[in-house]
Amino acid sequence: MSSAAPSPFKVLVIGSGGREHALCWKIAQSELVSEVICTPGNAGIAEVARIGTVKATDIPGLLALAKAEAPALIVVGPEDPLAMGVADRLRAEGFEVFGPGAAGAQLEASKSAAKDLMERHRIPTAASRSFDRSGLAKGYVEGCTTWPQVVKADGLAAGKGVYICQDPAEAKAAVDAIMEEGRHGKAGIRVVVEEFLVGEEASIFAITDGASVLVLEPVQDHKQVGDGDVGPNTGGMGVYSPVPELSKRIYKQIEQHVLLPSIHMLRREGIAFRGVLFIGLMLTEAGPRVIEYNVRFGDPECQALVRRLQSDLVPILLATAKGELESIETPEWDARSVVGVVAAAEGYPQSPRKGDRIDGLKDAAAVDTAVVFHSGTKLTRTLDGDEEVTTAGGRVLTVTAMGKDSEGARDKAYEAYDKIRYAGKFCRRDIGRREEARRLQAEA
Ligand code: AMP
Ligand code: GLY
């Protein structure tokens, strides 16, 4: 008897950003999958998946949706539901889930907890102290002799809870903003004060089921809002992959000195981790140091990764969810370069404008190799009954394109970006041009 092909199954993706659009786009291409359902989704995700109405943090709603749809795999995109324990709750009901439980998500959800673990397991990171009383934190920074010092809100603050302080006055103001003024809400119940690290930032993504590890291709984000790395930090303004300046030797060093010890740390702590570990690093003169752990794919890094991944993503996610990652062969990657440019809305990252009609999406998608992923977009019905796509967030789209080198990819990505129109649109013009960005900064 010949073994029958497994019957196609449903996949449920939780989230609504560019990362989730990229995941749905890739998952929908799998022959194993009959339908992708994404909740709450966005206007672009609606083109590749059926959209749900349940919010990503509505745990009872998500449980009910999962029971109604019976997906064979659930993929959790963002960190908030993971920190709330959505993966534990779904697993307890028998679902296969890609994404760590609450204990694993603590790596991202509490910087002080992550620091404690790193210290205990000797993972290289910045020396730090944690405080849950503002007076103690301020007393400590008074006595610091080396500056700058970095003051961080302990909890999830969407990348905005980090203050690089040049002197005790600035550090005390940061402690007050976080702990007394409540600028980051509950995330600021505790602060971490840490040593300032000097070097080049890099990140590494590894899918793991706690035992096996699959290291993904290098991908580089651009965090600051302005060309030449100026202005406030954002969730990410653009990406490129591969990353030529991150040599194979350094990448291996990161794997050996940081990534594998981190997986080992999780095992030793008895934390079952089935998902993706995203480690932010500083490449210092003394070697790589962990800046932070994240427990989900980066956004917009994910958009670049799915463009280059040639293998089917679904078997990888499903095997991870089941704790069978070992059975997966090394995936194939497109040798070409990808560049992704984030189209943002005026006012981002502080207070972006919303509700503007987006035109030109079809023209952008028609550019050779271009794929446009939606982040903050919404389908809106006009008074005439027509549907239109409008802006609904600070980061609106990620426009990706490929080329034989980053120059070629960049030209195509900006060509596609320029075809999109909405009021208040802006982007960084230097994505993939790190060297140039540095020069601009030096001249500024
Ligand atoms: P985080 O949210 O912890 O990733 O921090 C956001 C950004 O702040 C990082 O991407 C770095 O650019 C910067 N940063 C955080 N911690 C440090 C540190 N200890 N030394 C230097 N820069 C840092
Ligand atoms: N792009 C950085 C992040 O997703 O945290």
Instruction: State yes or no: pLDDT of 3 exceeds 80.
Output: no
Quickly list DSSP for 181-247. S-TTGGGGSSEEEEEPP-SEEEEEEEEESSS-EEEPPP-EE--EEETTTEEEE-S-SEEEES-TTS-
Using alpha carbons, select from 151, 423, 397, 90 the residue that is nearest to residue 274: 90
Residue among 333, 356, 345, 335 at smallest CA distance from 408: 335
pLDDT value at residue 442:
63
Which residue's alpha carbon is at the smallest distance from atom 4 of ligand 2? 298
pLDDT digits (tens, 9 = 90+) for 290-299: 999 999 999 9
| Cα 37 to ligand 2 centroid, rounded to whole Å | 24
Question: pTM to 2 decimals?
Answer: 0.95
d(CA 257, CA 213): 14
CA of 47 to the centre of ligand 1 (A): 36
Residues flanking ligand 2, CB < 6 Å: 159, 221, 235-236, 294, 298-299, 301
Whether the pLDDT of residue 435 is over 70: the answer is no
Per-residue confidence band for 436, with pLDDT thresholds at 50, 70 and 90: low
Which one, of 386, 335, 319, lies nearest residue 359 by Cα?
A: 386
- In the chain, the amino acid numbered 191 is V
Tens-place pLDDT, residues 399-412? 999 999 999 999 99
Give the pLDDT confidence score for residue 18 in this predicted structure: 98
Domains and CATH numbers, the chain: 9-99 (3.40.50.20), 127-195 (3.30.1490.20), 200-443 (3.30.470.20)
Mean pLDDT within 418-428? 98
Quote the percentage of the chain above a pLDDT of 70. 96
CA-based nearest residue to 273, from 95, 71, 81, 87: 87
Candidates 291, 295, 301, 441: which one to mutate for ligand 1, based on the most atoms within 8 Å of Cβ? 291
Give, for ligand 2, the residue of 20, 276, 301 to mutate: max count of ligand atoms closer than 8 Å to Cβ: 301
Coil, strand, or helix at residue 166? coil
The rounded Å distance from CA 86 to ligand 2 centre is 20
The per-residue pLDDT for 49 is 98
Cα–Cα nearest to 415, from 402, 433, 434: 402
> Residue 310: its pLDDT value, please?
98
Ligand 1 midpoint to CA 282 (Å): 8
Please tell me the residue having the least CA distance from ligand 1 atom 19: 196
203, 278 contact by CB (below 8 A): yes
Which pLDDT score is estimated for 182? 92
**CA separation (Å) from 46 to 20, 23, 25, 214, 389?**
11, 13, 10, 30, 11
Q: How many CB atoms lie within 10 A of CB 385?
A: 6
Distance 223 CA to ligand 2 centre (A): 8
Minimal CA–CA distance to 86: which of 65, 110, 112?
Answer: 65
pLDDT at 438 over 60: no
Cα dihedral value 24, 36, 53, 353, nearest 10:
20
Name the band, by pLDDT with cuts 50, 70 and 90, for residue 244. confident
Confidence of residue 246 (pLDDT cuts 50, 70, 90): confident
Left if phi > 0, otherwise alpha if psi is -120 to 50, otherwise beta: which for 236? left
Pocket probe for ligand 1: among 130, 152, 162, 233, the residue whose CB has the most ligand atoms within 8 Å is 162
pLDDT band at residue 233 using 50, 70 and 90 as cut-offs: confident
Q: Report the distance separating Cα 295 and Cα 106, nearest Å.
A: 9
Cβ 221 vs Cβ 203: under 8 Å: yes
Q: Which protein residue's CA is at the shortest distance from atom 12 of ligand 1?
A: 201
Q: Is the pLDDT of residue 4 over 80?
A: no
Residue whose Cα lies nearest atom 16 of ligand 1: it is 291
Distance 365 CA to ligand 2 centre (A): 24
Q: Taking all residues of the chain, what is their mean pLDDT, rounded to a whole number?
A: 94
Contact of 46 with 373, CB cutoff 8 Å: no
pLDDT at residue 5 in the model: 62
Nearest residue by C-alpha to atom 13 in ligand 1: 162
Query: Residue 437 — pLDDT band, cuts 50, 70, 90?
Result: low
Spatial neighbors of 117 by CB under 8 A, at least 6 apart, are 107, 123, 265, 269
What is the C-alpha separation between 192 and 262, in angstroms, rounded? Answer: 20
For residue 297, the ligand 2 atom closest to its alpha carbon is 4
Confidence of residue 380 (pLDDT cuts 50, 70, 90): confident
Residue 381 binned pLDDT confidence (cut-offs 50, 70, 90): confident
Report how far residue 163's alpha carbon sits from residue 22's, in angstroms, rounded to the nearest whole number.
Answer: 31
pLDDT digit string, tens, across residues 182-221: 999 999 999 999 999 999 899 999 999 999 999 999 999 9
pLDDT, residue 385, reads 82
CA of 393 to the centre of ligand 2 (A): 16
Residue to mutate, 222, 225, 294, 395, ligand 2, most ligand atoms under 8 Å from C-beta? 294
Q: Indicate if the pLDDT at residue 166 is higher than 80.
A: yes
Extract the tokens encoding 31: 């022959």
Whether 8 has a pLDDT exceeding 70, the answer reads yes
| Distance in Å, CA 125 to ligand 2 centroid | 19
Residues with CB under 6 A from ligand 1: 126, 150, 152, 159, 162, 194, 196-197, 201, 223, 233, 280, 291-292
Which protein residue has the closest C-alpha to ligand 2 atom 2?
298
> Per residue in 340-360, is it b (16+ CB within 10 Å) or e — as a string?
bbbbbbeebbeebebebebeb
DSSP 386-407: -EEEEE-SSEEEEEEEEESSHH
Is the backbone of residue 45 left (phi > 0), alpha (psi -120 to 50) or beta?
Answer: alpha
Mean pLDDT, rounded, for 356-364: 97
Ligand number with the minimum distance to the CA of 165: 1
Q: Does residue 250 have a pLDDT over 70? A: yes
Q: How far is the CA of 236 from the centre of ligand 2 (A)?
A: 6
Residue 440: strand, helix, or coil: helix
* DSSP per-residue codes, 83-148: HTTHHHHHHHTT--EES--HHHHHHHH-HHHHHHHHHHTT--B--EEEESSHHHHHHHHHT--SS-
Asked if residue 1 has pLDDT above 50, the reply is no
Q: Residue of the nearest CA to atom 3 in ligand 2? A: 298
| Cα 161 to ligand 2 centroid, rounded to whole Å | 14
pLDDT of residue 9: 98
Question: Ligand 2 mean position to 294 CA, how many Å?
Answer: 8
Nearest CA to ligand 2 atom 5: 298
Q: How confident is the model at residue 118 (pLDDT cuts 50, 70, 90)?
A: very high
The per-residue pLDDT for range 14-66, each reduced to its tens digit, is: 999 999 999 999 999 999 999 999 999 999 999 999 999 999 999 999 999 99
